[in-house]
A = this chain, B = another copy of it.
Amino acid sequence: MASQAKKLINDPDDVVTEFIEGLVETYPNLQYLDGFPEVKVVLRADISPATYDKVVVISGGGSGHEPAHAGFVGEGMLAAAICGDVFASPPVDAVLAGIRAVTGPMGCLLIVKNYTGDRLNFGLAAELAKSEGYMVEMVIVGDDCALPPPRGIVGRRGLAGTILVHKVAGAAAAAGLSLKDVAAEAKRASEMIGTMGVALSVCTLPGQATSNRLAPGKMELGLGIHGEPGVAVADIQPVDMVISHVLTKILSPESNYVPISRGNRVIIMTNGLGATPIMELMIASGKTVTKLQLEHGLAVDRVYVGSFMTSLDMAGFSITIMKADESILQRLDAATKAPAWPVGVNGNRPTPKFPVPMPPSSLKAMNVSSSRPRELSKQGLLLEAAIEAAAKAVIDIKDQLNEWDGEAGDADCGSTVSPLKVSSSLPLAHFFFPPFWLPAQYLPVLQLFKGATAILEDLKNHYPLNDAAETVNEVGTSMRVMGGTSGIM
């Protein structure tokens, strides 16, 4: 049975307003229009609309996609973000209040994801604002590449690529361009992006039960960011294969969604969907770079990794590919104070990037200082047999070690762990353990096998077995590959 989703929130009806309150406490450059609960607008604290001499860029939509869009408010990106309820477009009044709060004589560009509700609410607000004398333009973003054309009258969904359009438009506005030119740059940017997502779990709305839609071992491809089912469900595969599939879809010459072909330069955005660890996002991102270079013949100019356009607590990611040129790079690299825009990404990327080599003074060289005697003495033979038996004993008791490991798992909490009763059938394995385990870092059994394996290898290669004291030193050096607490002890 599906159970209530676990969330650290208060009243499910208050999640958006409480999110905004937390956001403005965190970032002193942001403020909000307190028209709660209907009007939920985050805006730059430093804009006086009457005298502001640049175009303002505004976006927004349903909430549940944090940090989008409120986290991208700041000099150089959005002037305001209009937040709807979770997965619901904001009402016209909220959009209109946001336009009025920041728009000066240079006018306002609305960037809207391609969903019916957003198009209608932002569109009507734009008309009302124009009737009040404001200059307003609107650009619609539809970057989804999951479904083949034709996409009917609705067109493609707006996904994480929208954030790249925010950045291009925001930088163009900050550079002092006219509303017409800012809108033209935003529209052009929107035509350069393609996005597709992969999910391991279905998002759960605050206060609702979790969905059983996605079974263990399954993933969805081509999902939406509002809980819409994916285009396909498949067994979870290595992320290498998942990315190959996603890139093929985005760059498909049949659908022709993005004008990218071999030899072009591109930008990547790897976007976490809400519950995806950074480790997984980085792995996916590194593989995407390699595949674009080697399999698609593209040069990668910038890589943006993080959670930009999420779907509440969904696990998975989307990949966005954008065709790059000097003009777009200049906009993406321009300074911004928007807190959720990634830093440290700018700069020329050597292709291919060479890993820094190990310094020659590495310990690997130190190990070679000893060598195996040509002939072993009687004592040497005995020592060899003992070390080999001990190492093999460790390798053989894998299951038992795993069991002990589980029991010692709370050792970090500071409680004393009882001395382990080392079985009398393992006298040699004992050689490798301290007589009891100190309260210690989580002990990966993996490390013990690494150590035992390294010892077996070094034993054959270079232990000076006729010298027992030196050999014990070498055993210690071999075990330094282990890491963990056990390695060092």
A23: B residues at CB distance < 8 A: 282, 286
Q: Which one of A172-180, A216-224, A392-400, A467-475 contacts B?
A: A216-224
A444 to B226 alpha-carbon distance, docked (Å): 10
Which residues of chain A in 266-316 are interfacial with respect to chain B, using CB atoms and an 8 Å cutoff?
A: 274-287, 289, 300, 303-305, 307, 310, 312-313, 315-316
Q: How many Å from the CB of A145 to the closest CB on chain B?
A: 12
A414 to B116 alpha-carbon distance, docked (Å): 11
Taking A8-B242, A277-B312 as given, write out 8 further A-B residue pairs in contact, using a Cβ cutoff of 8 Å, ordered by the A residue number: A8-B239, A8-B276, A87-B441, A91-B487, A94-B483, A97-B358, A120-B485, A278-B307
A198 to B338 alpha-carbon distance, docked (Å): 29
A170: B residues at CB distance < 8 A: none
A486: B residues at CB distance < 8 A: 117
Which residues of chain A in 105-128 are interfacial with respect to chain B, using CB atoms and an 8 Å cutoff?
A: 115-118, 120-121, 124
Q: How many Å from the CB of A267 to the closest CB on chain B?
A: 12
Q: Does A346 contact B (CB under 8 A)?
A: yes
Closest to A8 in B: B239
17 A-B contact pairs sorted by A residue (CB < 8 Å): A6-B236, A7-B280, A8-B276, A10-B238, A22-B281, A24-B355, A28-B349, A29-B344, A31-B355, A62-B441, A88-B483, A89-B484, A89-B487, A120-B485, A275-B276, A275-B315, A337-B344
Q: Does A356 contact B (CB under 8 A)?
A: yes
Q: Which one of A64-72, A184-192, A321-329, A380-388 contacts B?
A: A64-72
Q: Which one of A255-263, A405-413, A418-426, A456-464 contacts B?
A: A405-413
Please determine whether A446 and B93 come into contact, CB atoms closer than 8 angstroms: no
Q: How many Å from the CB of A221 to the closest CB on chain B?
A: 12
A226 to B409 alpha-carbon distance, docked (Å): 8
Please determine whether A89 and B358 come into contact, CB atoms closer than 8 angstroms: no
Q: Does A430 contact B (CB under 8 A)?
A: no
Closest to A446 in B: B85
Please determine whether A152 and B416 come into contact, CB atoms closer than 8 angstroms: yes
A100 to B152 alpha-carbon distance, docked (Å): 61
Question: Given A345-B27, A488-B121 in contact, is the A22-B89 Cβ separation under 8 Å?
Answer: no
A414 to B217 alpha-carbon distance, docked (Å): 27
Please determine whether B9 and A227 come into contact, CB atoms closer than 8 angstroms: no
A281 to B339 alpha-carbon distance, docked (Å): 15
Q: Does A342 contact B (CB under 8 A)?
A: yes
Closest to A26 in B: B303
Q: How many Å from the CB of A143 to the closest CB on chain B?
A: 13
A339 to B151 alpha-carbon distance, docked (Å): 39
Closest to A82 in B: B483
A11 to B240 alpha-carbon distance, docked (Å): 10
A307 to B101 alpha-carbon distance, docked (Å): 32
Q: Does A84 contact B (CB under 8 A)?
A: yes
A358: B residues at CB distance < 8 A: 33-35, 39, 97
Q: Which one of A13-21, A51-59, A161-169, A368-376 contacts B?
A: A13-21
Please determine whether B34 and A355 come into contact, CB atoms closer than 8 angstroms: yes
Q: Does A131 contact B (CB under 8 A)?
A: no
Q: Does A231 contact B (CB under 8 A)?
A: yes
Q: How many Å from the CB of A156 to the closest CB on chain B?
A: 8
Q: Does A200 contact B (CB under 8 A)?
A: yes
Q: How many Å from the CB of A245 to the closest CB on chain B?
A: 12
